[in-house]
Amino acid sequence: MCLDHIKEYNKNLNYYANMTAEEIESEIKADTIWRKPTWPFRGDMRNFQSAQDFFGVFEGRPGPIEEGGRKEIWPSEVAGAAKVLGVSLPVEMNHLKKIYKQAVKEYHPDLHHGKKRSGRKVKKINIAYKILSNFIKDAQ
């Protein structure tokens, strides 16, 4: 069909032409849920009053509190990396670089006569620094 015929066809098309009001209403309801099956909520809505609001979306809901302020929620990989380097989140890139350099100098195998334990520690420090620096760069 050419474009003119498509336009004429669409003008004359009425999907709901031969449907009753109830059938039209049923079609609209089915379309609102993309025709996917749904189930009724089972339970008491009052149970949600005790739920924590981690993202501060609902006013009046309790959120996680830490030292008088809201607790930040970090990905577990980032939190673990911060623990390895001994920094608290959030951290600025300049401070992170400074901590990283100090930690590498402290645990470098050349200073510990090539002990494997210090070598493993430096590897962990390098991985943690890479994770945190990538996280900070992605956040910016």
Give me the residue spans of the domains in the chain. Answer: 76-139
Whole-prediction pTM? 0.48
pLDDT of residue 120: 86
**Which SS3 state, helix, strand or coil, does residue 132 take?**
helix
One DSSP character per residue, 45-91 reads GGGGGGS--TTS-STTS---EETTEEPP---HHHHHHHHHHT-PSS-
Mean pLDDT by 10 residues, the chain (140 residues): 89 87 91 78 56 59 50 78 88 90 85 73 90 85
Topology (CATH) of 76-139: Helix Hairpins (1.10.287)
**pLDDT at residue number 127:** 92
pLDDT at 119: 78
User: Can you tell me whether residue 106 is helix, strand or coil?
Assistant: helix
Q: What is the pLDDT of residue 97?
A: 92
Closest residue by Cα to residue 127 from 95, 110, 103, 109: 103
Residue 79 CA to residue 86 CA, distance in Å, equals 10
Distance from C-alpha of 20 to C-alpha of 55, rounded to nearest angstrom: 45
**What is the C-alpha end-to-end distance of the chain, expressed in Å?**
51
**Whole-number Å distance between alpha carbons of 72 and 45:** 27
Residue 67's pLDDT is 47
